[in-house]
Structure 1
């Protein structure tokens, strides 16, 4: 470049009298308006478009901030800069200052996620791991603070540069929030809306401290290992069942299957015997029970073959979260033990016991623990 070209370039920059920024990108947050030696002509025009804010910086100090509009740069429109420069009676020569244009529109659909699984201590399932991801939206609400604290002297600051910091902040605060929520593990995936609002409230002060407003925060998914998910589904189904009704239903189905078993004489005999008994009972009901009926030897034999009533099942009460629960029968208590609702240290009580006793010390319940040792053989 020749001497004439250098002089021409210097003069073209020195006498620029319009300061503006046309943003042709969708990711620029801050753009510094470049001029030769940062010189601005007196009475120059400043054009700030919608979605922008212009910030003047003098020797590292925040000066004047301009919202959308057109301005003539003089001592009246630059009160803070005039004070910093010591202009008492106006000025005619160019002055030096850095001009930054800040994009204030909403930056949407920014991604976040947990890099490592979060370990939680669930009351029923013990230590479990979850992951989460989602989106967030932000905008600059304090351009001066944002430039001083974050941008510095960067002449073209994009949202990619700030996103890594914001995603780390979000992951940290999300981990703290879900840890303090102390929810049952299955509710994290079912209450993403409420959890999103809580996380947004927790994170907002952190964003504000650097001049950023967290406008939206969404948790799109909370995931966990497949084996844990299956275990939660199984537990949920069992928790909704009436175990006593289920036991009665299965018993009835077993009796029905035995009675209709064509390949077994015992099943046929039982079905025939129950038929005779039902016929006799219906006959007695029709005669009002006042007439005596002649019982054939075969019917008598079938009546004798009818088993006596089943003994009443032992009912157990157990302690859960400091409160009495139950009663449940032996099989129901076995299921609760298998699902870790109760454990070997859980207090239980049944009729005939003087005091509540831990499960592992009740003789018939020791079978839950497994690995029982048989007594020594007789000599």
Structure 2
């Protein structure tokens, strides 16, 4: 071996580099391997560990992408890199390229939430406001697309930088999804799993455009104003509870409050009196049969008899039907001689018209109180 060959061999060993990245932060997504003037020597060793992907960028374009493994960087193994400037000069001529290590592990327990309240139009409660929060997990699926579209020239791209963008994306798509779902507002909590899966399906295309895979998406809570929550609870109770039982419960609470009255002797007496009345009412509602046995006149006193039906009479004057009028009015008409004993009268229940003198209750008109005829 000549002197030149030995020098060449010695220089080739000196120029061999090791390109690798050890992540000590657990928060870095993309790390740019720093070299002096970005020069990488021929025969350099590239070590890509599990959970990593190495992306070579030359003059702003992706030259190659390396999955986990150990690689020797030369023109034989890397035909794509053969076009890079510097390879043609041999082992000791460097080439300029940027190497980005992309963390492809699963990033879990990422938080999301709605910064502002979401306004929904509920069929029963009208315009309402809700807020929601939860967690999601993701990983970098397409390292090259992610570096080009998101990272750019950032030498140390962290999870914090991308999480803000993802949170805004999630909040926007979540608002659209719940708006189109048109679920009753009280059912969001009961359908959180189904709604989470729907949101993940809707959001994945947006994540995929920048090389991210949305692995899981969870809705942990959907909250609403306290006033609306109380209204929903009351509506639910009224829908489920028997109104009679609810009245009994309210009466019992009123008795309890009256018993706690400490306003002196008069106040105590009033409270006791009210308590006795309410107790009787509650006892009657809870056991109507016992109440009737104790006081058999209670039902008769509580329910008045029906109003008597007033009899109405039709009468004929000059072959013309008149009325109907009540008994007293007919008596007045008889007194002023508008009708007489021969006038035809009809009331409900009669088959035909009959003279006034033939109707039993009207015979009283013919007594001694009948005035004589007026003088000519």
Q: How many residues align?
A: 264
Alignment match, 1:107: 107
- Corresponding residue for residue 225 of structure 1: 225
TM-score, scaled to structure 2: 0.63
* Bigger Cα Rg: 2
Give the distance between the partners of 2:212 and 2:123, measured in 1 at CA: 38
Q: Structure 1 residue 240: deviation in Å?
A: 1.6
The Cα offsets for residues 25-69 of structure 1, whole Å up to 9 and x where unpaired, read as 110000011111111111111111111111101100011111111
State the match for 1:17 in structure 2.
Answer: 17
2:197 and 2:217 in contact (8 A); partners too:
yes
Please report how far the alpha carbon of residue 190 of structure 1 lies from its aligned counterpart in structure 2 after TM superposition: 2.1
Residues 259 and 270, structure 1, Cα contact 8 Å, conserved in 2: no
Give 3-state SS (helix, strand or coil) of 1:183's partner. coil
| Partner of residue 173, structure 1 | 173
Partners of 1:259 and 1:271 within 8 A in 2:
no
Answering whether residue 46 of structure 2 is matched by residue 46 of structure 1, we say: yes
User: For residue 257 of structure 1, what is the aligned residue in structure 2?
Assistant: 280
Please list the CA deviations of residues 249-296 of structure 1 after superposition, one character each: whole Å capped at 9, or x if unmatched.
89xx999825979xxxxxx9965552xxxxxxxxxxxxxxxxxxxxxx
Q: 1:90 to 1:127 in 2, by over 3 A?
A: same
CA distance in 2, matches of 1:100, 1:269: 89
Q: How does 1:122-137 map to 2 (within 5 A)?
A: 122-137=122-137
Go from structure 1 to structure 2 and tell me whether the alpha carbon gap of 1:92 and 1:258 turns closer, same or farther (over 3 Å shift). closer
The equivalences for 1:340-355 within 5 A come to: none
> What is the CA–CA distance in structure 1 between the aligned matches of 2:299 and 2:197, rounded to whole Å?
70
Q: Which residue pairs with 1:150 in the alignment?
A: 150
**Cα distance in 1, alignment partners of residues 46 and 33 from structure 2:** 11
- Gaps in structure 1 of 5+ consecutive residues: 1-10, 262-267, 275-300, 311-379
Deviation at 1:188, TM superposition (A): 1.1
Question: What is the RMSD of the two structures over their aligned residues, measured on CA atoms?
Answer: 3.4
Normalised to the residue count of structure 1, the TM-score between the two structures is: 0.62
Cα 1:69–1:124 change in 2 (3 A) is: same
**Using the alignment, how far apart are the partners of 1:93 and 1:176 within structure 2?**
56
Q: Distance in 2 between matches of 1:17 and 1:120?
A: 60
Distance 1:304 1:237 in 2: 35
CA distance in 2, matches of 1:148, 1:90: 30
- 1:81, distance to aligned residue in structure 2 (A): 2.3
Deviation at 1:94, TM superposition (A): 1.5
Q: Is the 8 A contact 1:38 1:96 kept in 2?
A: yes
Mapped to 1, the partners of 2:58 and 2:298 lie a distance apart of: 110
Q: Which residue of 2 aligns with 1:57?
A: 57
Equivalent position SS for 1:32: strand
Q: CA deviation at 1:127?
A: 0.5
Aligned to 1:121: 121
1:246 Cα deviation (Å)? Answer: 5.2
Q: For residues 15 and 228 of structure 1, do their structure 2 counterparts lie closer, same or farther at Cα, with a shift above 3 Å needed?
A: same
Unaligned runs of 5+ in 2: 1-10, 253-276, 285-289, 307-376
CA distance in 1, matches of 2:129, 2:104: 38
Asked if the contact 2:118/2:129 (under 8 Å) is kept, the reply is: yes
SS of 1:190's equivalent in the other structure is coil
The change in CA–CA distance for 1:92 and 1:271 in structure 2 (over 3 A counts) is same
Note the 1:1-379 alignment, pairs <5 A. 15=15, 17-83=17-83, 85=85, 93-243=93-243, 257-258=280-281, 272-274=294-296, 307=303
> Aligned partners of 1:303, 1:185: CA distance in 2, in Å?
46
Distance 1:308 1:145, change over 3 A: same
Quick check: 1:75–1:90 contact (8 Å CA) kept in 2? no
